[in-house]
Amino acid sequence: MKHIRNFCIIAHIDHGKSTLADRLLDFTGSVTDREKQEQLLDNMDLERERGITIKSHAIQMDYLHEGESYVLNLIDTPGHVDFSYEVSRSIAACEGALLVVDAAQSIQAQTISNLYLALENDLEIIPVLNKVDLPSANPEEVTDDIVDLLGCDPSDIIPASAKTGLGIQEILDAIITRIPAPSGKVDAPLRALIFDSVYNPFRGVETFFRVINGTIKKGQNIKFVATDKNYSADEVGTLRLKQQPKNEIKTGDVGYLITGIKEAKEVKVGDTITDAKNPTTEAVPGFEDVKPMVFAGIYPVDTEDYEELRASMEKLQLNDASLVFTPESSAALGFGFRCGFLGMLHLEIIQERLEREFDMTVITTVPNVSYHAYTNKEPDEVILVNNPSDLPEPSTLNRVEEPFIKATIITKADYVGNVMSLCIEKRGEITNQTYLTTERVELSFDMPLAEIVFDFYDRLKTVSRGYASFDYSPIGMRQSKLVKVDVLLNGNTVDALSALLHIDNAYDIGKKMCEKLKELIPRQQFDIPIQAAIGAKIIARETVKALRKDVTAKCYGGDISRKRKLLEKQKKGKKRMRQVGNVEIPQEAFMAVLKLND
C-alpha cells in the first residue's frame, strides 16, 4: 500500500486540466506514441469540441521514483459547477489533489469551491501554476494570490506548462513525496466507494471504485449498500488505457467492476460496495441521490417520433445517471417528457447529445425549477411543482417556496457595480464582499435559482466583459410570492409557454413575452391577439395584424356605401375565420422566451 498514490486534479474550466493529464500520461510512459492524442481522457466528441470535461475518468500510471516503483491513480474531475456532486465523490476517493491555476487568468470561482471540497476531505493540496509560458502570464502576482488563498509557502507552488511539458517531473515527484499513501485495514470487511460508472452496451454497467478496507476478488459475492442488492463480481481489474483484468484489487487501490447489471439506476455514484456474506457496518459517508435543479419539457418535433425519443432518452440515461425524466403531454406540443437536469449546461449537453448521437430533433420548453406549494386544506403537505400547470388553484394556495442558492462571483474591481446591479435585478441579496487582491473581488449573494435559469450567465459575462466567474451551491427553500403567467393566443392558453414568475417581475416579463411573440408569429388572414394573463386578469396584450386583401380596389368613384358594404362583408369573414382559425407557433418562439433581454 505504501507505493500507491491516489490523486485528482481540480481546476476551473479551461485552466489546462485535461492537457496536464495528457502530459502526466506521456511522462510516465502509460501511453504509446500510437495512442497519443490531445485531451486523451475526454473521449466524447462534445468534450473535445467545447474543451470541457463532462464525465470524470480514472487512469492508472506506473512511475519509478528513486529506484522504487509507484502506482499512481489519477481520478479526473469535471470542471463545471453543474457536476459538483461528481467532483465531490472523486475527491472522496483520493488522498491528494493538484490544484491547477492558470497563470494568465488567476483564481476563479470554481477553483475556490472545489478547493473547499478538497479541504473538507482533508486532502493534501499541491498547487500548480499552469501556462507560465504564455506571453500574458503573470506568475508573480498569481503566486501571491495562491499563497493568500492556501496559506502555503511560495516554494510549494510548482510552475508548469502542460503544453510544453515544463514542470511535469516536479509534479510527479511532489505527488509521491507530499501525498500520503492510502490508509486502510486489509483484514477488515470489504468497503469500497463507487465514484463513477459508465454503460457498456456489451457488458452492462462498469462500476469504478476505490477500495477503502479489505479486498475485492473476482467471483466474490458483493452487495451495494444504498440499493441493498447482491451481485457476483464477474470481472475486476485496474484502469489502464485499456482495462486490465486482475484476480483481486487490494486496499487503497482503484479499479473497475463488471457485474452484468443492465440498469444504470442500480449503480449510484457515492454508494458503498461490501461483501455479501461479511458486510461492513458503516457505509462511506456523503452518499446522496443526485437532485435535479432545473426542469424542462423535451418534445419530438414530429409526434410520431415519441417512442423513438423514449428509447434514445433511456440509452442516454444509461450513460448519464443524473438525467431524470417522466412522460407528459401538452396541448400545443403533443406527447413528450418532463426532464430534470443538474443545471443549464447539463440541459444543453443532453439536447446536443440527443441530436448528435440519436439524430433526434427536439423542442425544449422554457426551463424552470422545482417549487414547493402548500395548500390551505393541509398546510403541512408539500406539493412538488415541476411544471407550471401543477400549481394549485390560487384560492386554495397557502404559500409557495422556491429554491435559493448561494452564488459566488469573482470579478475585477472595475465591474463590481455592474455585477451587483445585475444580481439585485435578479432578486439577489448581497451577503459578503471580499477583496482577494486590490484588483479582484469575491461577491457572495443569496438568490433564487429560478432567476439564474434564464439568461443570467450570458448577461454576467456581458456586464463584466467576460471577466467574471460564477459558482453556486443550493441553500434550501424560502417562501416567495409567485404567480402563474399564462400566454393566450387567439384566446387559447398555450401551456408550453406558461411560466411561474415572481409577482414583481410578472408584468414586465409578460409584456416582453407578448412583444417577442408578436415578432415571431407569422401573420394570418385574421387578427391574432397575444395576451399574458394571471388567472383571469389580462396583464399585457399585443396584436398580430391580419393580412388584408384590398377588396375596395375595384370601386373607383361612386358612393361610399359601396366600399363600406364590401369592407363590412370582409370583416364578417375575418370574424368567422378567427373563431375556427388555428395558430401555428414556430419553434423559435419557445426558445425566444429564454432571450427576452436581447
Per the annotation, does 573 bind a ligand?
Answer: no
Per the annotation, does 18 bind a ligand?
Answer: yes
Rounded distance, CA 392 to CA 377, Å? 11
Rounded distance, CA 284 to CA 23, Å? 32
Per the annotation, does 17 bind a ligand?
Answer: yes
* Overall residue count recorded for the chain in this entry: 598
Q: Mark 493-502 as b/e (b = at least 16 C-beta within 10 Å).
A: bbbbbbbbbb
Per the annotation, does 15 bind a ligand?
Answer: yes
DSSP string, 433-498: EEESSSSEEEEEEEEEHHHHHTTHHHHHHHHTTT--EEEEEEEEEEEE-EEEEEEEETTEE-GGG-
Rounded distance, CA 147 to CA 126, Å? 12
Cβ contacts of residue 126 below 8 Å, gap of 6+?
7, 96, 97, 98, 99, 156, 158, 171, 174, 175, 178, 179
CB 248 within 8 A of CB 236: yes
Beta strand 216-217 with 528-534 is unpaired
Per the annotation, does 155 bind a ligand?
Answer: no
Helix (H) or strand (E) holding 70: strand 68-76
CB 391 within 8 A of CB 411: no
Rounded distance, CA 111 to CA 164, Å? 23
Per the annotation, does 277 bind a ligand?
Answer: no
Q: How far is residue 228 from each of residues 134, 223, 274, 276, measured CA to CA in Å?
A: 52, 7, 10, 10
Helix (H) or strand (E) holding 563: helix 560-580
CB 532 within 8 A of CB 539: yes
Q: Mark 213-248 as b/e (b = at least 16 C-beta within 10 Å).
A: bbbbbbebebbbbbeeeebebebbbbbeeebeebee
Per the annotation, does 301 bind a ligand?
Answer: no
Q: Among positive and negative, which fits the CA dihedral 527, 528, 529, 535?
A: positive
Per the annotation, does 19 bind a ligand?
Answer: yes
DSSP class of residue 166 equals B
Per the annotation, does 412 bind a ligand?
Answer: no
Nine-digit cell at 6? 491516489
Residue 396, class by beta-carbon neighbours within 10 Å (0-12 exposed, 13-18 middle, 19+ buried)? Answer: exposed
CB 449 within 8 A of CB 369: yes
Per the annotation, does 438 bind a ligand?
Answer: no
Binding site, annotated residues for GTP? 14-19, 130-133
Binding residues: 14-19, 130-133
